[in-house]
Copies of this chain bind each other. A is one copy, B any other.
Amino acid sequence: MAKAKRICILLLRFLAFAATLSAVIVMATSHQNASFFAVSFEVKYTNSPSFKYFVIANAIVTVYGFLVLFLPSESPLWRLVVALDLVFTMLLTSSISAALAIAYVGKKGNTYAGWLPICGQVPKYCDQVTGALAVGFVGVITYMLLLLYSIHTVLDPLLLKKT
């Protein structure tokens, strides 16, 4: 039973690692050449600070997720992992929120501020950003599940002690 649980957690951690890695790759490779009145330019993720933040945050969490995969199950560092999971889930949540806010403006524009949607000009770029955000979302959800599980196992002994 304990072994099945451990394998389940390991699979979740691998899924989280794969999701954040894919988010980095999909976002970092998103680019499209567009022309506007005979002026050709390239649209890349580096054009927006929010997307840069998204890539950096996901890259950091990918490295962390990779390292945790190889942590032996008897290591005393696992207690630290709960706190680190918390910090990195916050980082992911923050980066995906910022990227989503900008992507929303890119998709729908904002008539009050006079910001026009840009997805009509660069549909391929837009689709790729949407894909990166979707994969990033899978990563955040997986880390939240892991965090809830950690909190559950940490709180459980206390609950048992009290009754």
Number of interface residues of A (CB under 8 A): 42
A47 is an interface residue with CB less than 8 A from chain B = yes
- Pick out which of these stretches binds chain B: A14-22, A107-115, A127-135: A107-115
Q: Mark A89-115, 1 if CB is under 8 A from B, else 0.
A: 110011111111110111000101111
Interface of A is mostly: helix
A72 an interface residue at 8 Å Cβ cutoff?
Answer: no
| Minimum CB distance partner of A36 in chain B | B114
- Interchain Cβ contacts under 8 Å between A and B, 19 examples: A43-B112, A48-B112, A48-B113, A49-B101, A49-B104, A50-B101, A82-B155, A83-B151, A86-B151, A93-B97, A95-B97, A98-B100, A102-B105, A105-B105, A105-B115, A113-B115, A114-B115, A114-B118, A154-B158
